[in-house]
Structure 1
Amino acid sequence: MPIYEVKAFWDEYEVKAFNQPLNEEELKGIFKKHDKNGNGRLSRKELKKTFEELGAWIPDWRALRDFATQMPMLKGIFKKHDKNGDGRLSRKELKKAFEELGAWIPDWRAWRGLSNADANGDGFISEEEMNSLVLYAMRFGYTVK
């Protein structure tokens, strides 16, 4: 079982170990640990093992590539549904976004997405919480075609 929880990747990642954010040096240490030949680069196999340890639900290389393209597109779908332009998504706005993404029960999916991504508990998804919402949507197979 992974000891880390990955909230997002790339330049806007938040990785938690036992609910404590990892600093850059700790994260580099994890990647260095999986660099078996010590060349400063991770092979596909090494990268997959690293992300598995970090608890990634998409450790496969192809999935990582798809992740890089899907994340901004999903963010765009969610942001498009910020109808009042306040920079936050309400449950009603989330429901409309999940309807567009093809959810079978969009109100339930919006409620679950809000429950998973609303870190400060204010009942809205802010810009800071958007990565968590996108990861939640991707975990359940929502993509932009």
Structure 2
Amino acid sequence: MAETEYLTADDLKRIKTTFRDIDGNGDGRLSKHELKRACKTMGVRVNTEHMATMMKKMDECGKDFLTFKEFDSFMRDLLEAQAVEDQYLKNVFASMDENGDGYATSEEIAKALNIPPETALELLRDADKNGDGKVSYKEFAELYRNKVE
């Protein structure tokens, strides 16, 4: 198992272990239901559209299961996409967090995005779940992912 640019040897091992653990009857296949459980077990964020596309591909092939090879490819794609998205969000957040304190204020957001202060304040209110008047990376990422999904 070779590491990739975004996936570690542990990630690749987890794919194999998850497949084995979820494949309850040991037939070397995952049903659609098992695939959903596997994604949840792996902690992979799968949007409805991506899952529907995978299910459609399974149906087009005339089968209602994934082999390990198909599951491995699917999970690698999802994990890599998730890693790329995470890095992107970290970079965007870092560009807003001008003073590097781990939070973005409405002033920093306005400046980074070149938007009016009122618009930045609205964005901050949408993201600020704990009401501290600033946005942490976690709050920012959650807002982004909820808007995208």
Q: Point out the structure with the larger helix share.
A: 2
Q: TM-score, normalised by structure 2?
A: 0.43
Larger radius of gyration: 2
